Structure 1
Amino acid sequence: MSDSYAISPACPLLLADIGGTNARFAIETAPGQLSAVKVLPCAAYASLEAAMQHYLQDEASLAAGAQEVRHAGIAIANPVHGDQIRMTNHHWEFSVSAVRAHFGLERLHVVNDFTALALSLPHLQAHQYFQVGGHQPLADSAIGLLGAGTGLGVSGLIPCGERWLPLHSEGGHASFTPGNAKEAAILDVVWSEFPHVSAERLLSGPGLSLMYRALAELQKKSVTPLEPPAILLRGLQGECAICTEVLSTFCEMLGTIAANLALTLGARKGIYIGGGIVPRLGDFFQHSGFRARFEDKGRFQDYLAAIPVYVITEAYPALIGLSALHRQQSAH
């Protein structure tokens, strides 16, 4: 998919994608041109303001025009309602109006990170994603979006004339649905710890660690808890049978969630997968049971078999979406 940058926003434009683990910053120096891209660990800063201040004082940021920034956009892994933002997966909280005043901004847009990611989809080029099964996208249909990282984000785009309307969804917190007896057994184990098991509880970085413990318990094996990066590394390299099973089960579970989203939205223009986990799986994901599970919907198997799924490989898609949002709002 591609689109032109018909309307030039006020540049330089500060863009920030704030996740539960990392904060990604960039300055757009011209439409579509991101400069001084930098990733800061959220845990290293007491507040959003502290992280922003550090970034804006960085040598590369100053060279890109940080001192002239008067417009900014922030995508954050959190529901966005009103002026006060309190993060779900991190301790940062802030007032939008206070941040705008503190940095002397004329305009500051704050949106959910998956709203920003959804808005990037019409602007992605072929080299920024790869396809996993399905046929050609159906024009004038909805697009679905999900992605697992620190949490599980869900969104989508609905066609509206020449524009796309993003969904402000918190679908990752919908109840987890097992697809077979093994997943039901995992759910039983997790239920003993959490009274409500959302899709995010298992389909996320922390979910990999939780699933590792659950599978070990079901197999009556004593294991040392592992962090998500270790599970990914050992599973992909075949060094740990349980880790590999975690990754295989994750891919199949994601197939169920993606298919549910496709059916719910009628997303026949495609399902896009972002987040930090799936792009790291590479060929493992391509050869996993994801696509078979995605199409395993009985009478609607043919319907789903036609829907293409795309894995986003672009490193900073939410920043592209924030830029698109700023252009769209500058047009009004």
Structure 2
Amino acid sequence: MATDHSNRLTGIPAAPFLAADIGGTHGRVALMRASHDGAGGVQTLAYRVFVCAEFPMLSELLQAFIDADVKIPVKHCVLACAGQIMGNEVVNDNLPWPIHLPQLRHVLGLEEVAVLNDFEALAYALDDASADGGRHLCGPATPTGGPTLVIGPGTGLGAAVHIPAAGGGFVLGTEAGQMDFAPNSLRERQILAHLAPDGGYVPFEHVVSGPGLLAVYVALCAMHGDAPKLAAPEAVTKAAMKGDDAQAVEAVEIFCASLGSFAGNLAMTFMATGGVFLAGGFLSSIFELLERSAFEERFLHGRSARALLSQIPVRVTEHGLRGVHGAAKWYLRHSVPGVGAPMPIAAGGAGA
């Protein structure tokens, strides 16, 4: 069961701890400790990026990091994971393996494993909108303050919102990527019909993600009566950047436009006047195409919503170390007295 360990964790951050950001493709792992600034900052002692598919279990990925970079005993770990925390398990179809917290704690000899959603971690990392926010895409250059939204298409589609408040504010995780995809054009209706020929549920992440981009490309090839030449999302984006594959170019255009609709929907939902951050190297690699696409027009929607959305800055930022930093900041905030409000920590504790 998920348990509130905030009191039990008091004083632990004085020692180094593991922080990991585990996505469907990459696992980013760091050895962290609290900085001495007294403001909840973190210091990175070691950092590596792993390919998740190269390891049969998460415990082996973390053990590889420990063997290479950790020279002192470490007993505490915080994981930012794609998916939902259900008791002592992280549930997500995009992860290469199941994550069972008691097994992880036992194999690695850890006393505590704290867990949060990976986009919650990103939101904690980006909770200061005045920090380095990457490349400006649209809207005003600076925010007016208010909730900050982070969205990231990768192996799946994640989103979280940071709500400013006394004591550093708080983050709301979402499963927004599972919302029904809503086509905006006749072409998108055709693609939706191809993805679900018998009707039924198609989530946004089946279009707005790496695998979604590939699925759109394959659908467009089928509509043209062509066999798809490309077999990976990276190949589709590279071909679109070169402009030498018409279906790849159109697939990226549809991806960017659909991302605009998705981001605008969430910005309206959360009144994200603090700004929208689009996270991930995937987006950075196609920034020029995104900038020229229908993203902004679709983000702005229409009529009365346009007045609000036109005042929201949108930036593209690298994922990189941010998720690990956000996980560590969350961990420290919920284990140091007086820093933020206490919140539950899902963990595989003693007796789990």
Q: Report the TM-score when normalising by structure 1.
A: 0.89
C-alpha offsets along residues 59-100 of structure 1, whole Å, 9 cap, x if unaligned?
A: xx13xx4x3222211111111121122442134223323322
The question of whether the paired residues in 2 share the 8 Å contact of 1:232 and 1:243 is answered with: yes
Q: Quick one: distance in 2 between partners of 1:125 and 1:302?
A: 23
Q: Which residue in the other structure is 1:12 paired with? A: 16
Q: Quick one: distance in 2 between partners of 1:97 and 1:234?
A: 44
Moved over 4 A (4+): 123-126
1:37 to 38, 42, 47: 47
Q: Report the TM-score when normalising by structure 2.
A: 0.85
Structure 1: state its 5+ residue gaps: 1-6
Q: Which residue in the other structure is 2:334 paired with? A: 329
The question of whether the paired residues in 2 share the 8 Å contact of 1:128 and 1:314 is answered with: no
The question of whether the paired residues in 2 share the 8 Å contact of 1:130 and 1:313 is answered with: no
Q: Tell which has more relative contact order, 1 or 2 (C-alpha 8 A, sep 6+).
A: 2
Q: Quick one: distance in 2 between partners of 1:283 and 1:209?
A: 19
Q: Quick one: distance in 1 between partners of 2:287 and 2:15?
A: 36
C-alpha offsets along residues 28-87 of structure 1, whole Å, 9 cap, x if unaligned?
A: 2553332432122211211111111111101xx13xx4x322221111111112112244
Deviation at 1:302, TM superposition (A): 1.7
Q: Quick one: distance in 1 between partners of 2:191 and 2:46?
A: 44
2:195 equivalent to 1:185: no
The code of the aligned residue for 1:114 comes to F
2:200 equivalent to 1:195: yes
1:227 to 223, 232, 240: 232
Residues 137/123 of structure 1: CA separation in 2 closer, same or farther (3 Å cut): closer
Q: Quick one: distance in 2 between partners of 1:223 and 1:330?
A: 51
The code of the aligned residue for 2:57 comes to S
Deviation at 1:125, TM superposition (A): 6.5
2:144 equivalent to 1:138: yes
The code of the aligned residue for 1:47 comes to M
The code of the aligned residue for 2:65 comes to Y
Aligned CA RMSD, in angstroms, stands at 2.1
Q: Quick one: distance in 2 between partners of 1:155 and 1:307?
A: 16
Secondary structure, aligned partner of 2:93: coil
Deviation at 1:292, TM superposition (A): 1.7
The question of whether the paired residues in 1 share the 8 Å contact of 2:151 and 2:277 is answered with: yes
Counterparts of residues 1-332 of structure 1 (less than 5 Å): 9-29=13-33, 31=35, 32-58=42-68, 61-62=69-70, 65=71, 67-123=72-128, 126-135=131-140, 136-139=142-145, 141-192=146-197, 195-332=200-337
The code of the aligned residue for 2:172 comes to L
Residues 193/34 of structure 1: CA separation in 2 closer, same or farther (3 Å cut): farther
Q: Quick one: distance in 1 between partners of 2:199 and 2:110?
A: 42
Q: Quick one: distance in 1 between partners of 2:295 and 2:99?
A: 38
More helix per residue: 1
